[in-house]
Amino acid sequence: ETGVTQSPTHLIKTRGQQVTLRCSSQSGHNTVSWYQQALGQGPQFIFQYYREEENGRGNFPPRFSGLQFPNYSSELNVNALELDDSALYLCASSLGGSQETQYFGPGTRLLVL
């Protein structure tokens, strides 16, 4: 069974640029959630995709957007990068359903200069 994978592992961008982060879900999982973890803090929920539809969003501006593909892999796009977007971005996959455990990938560390 393949776990959750994310790419790239590290990324450096400058303010105002755009970035795309990628996530492959665990085999059999149809739900992907994205979280932002700033240094020294707990992860914060960005949004969740279930069967290619966004079904929930946290307190993040519209410049954070996403996609889920038919194979349930997912992308997180961030436009007009700001310095505060520097963080570890975590993807988690799960089976669709109430109270299902989310399994996390290793994360993408983004640095915005």
Partner 1 sequence: GNSVTQMEGPVTLSEEAFLTINCTYTATGYPSLFWYVQYPGEGLQLLLKATKADDKGSNKGFEATYRKETTSFHLEKGSVQVSDSAVYFCALMENQGAQKLVFGQGTRLTINP
| Given 7, 41, 77, 79, the residue binding partner 1 (CB under 8 A) | 41
What's the Rg (C-alpha) of the chain? 13
Pairing relationship of beta strands 10-13 and 108-112 according to DSSP bridges? parallel
Interactions with partner 1, residue window 52-71 (CB under 8 A): 55-58
| Given 2, 42, 62, 84, the residue binding partner 1 (CB under 8 A) | 42
The Cα 60–Cα 70 span in angstroms is 25
| Stretch in the footprint of partner 1 (CB under 8 A) among 11-19, 60-68, 71-79, 84-92 | 84-92
Q: Is 106 in the site for partner 1 (CB under 8 A)?
A: yes
A 10 A CB-CB count for 43 gives: 18
Q: For the chain, what is the largest distance between any 2 Cα atoms, rounded to a whole number of angstroms?
A: 39
Using CB under 8 A, list all residues that contact partner 1.
Answer: 4, 6, 31, 33, 35, 40-45, 47-48, 50, 55-58, 88, 90, 92, 94, 97-107
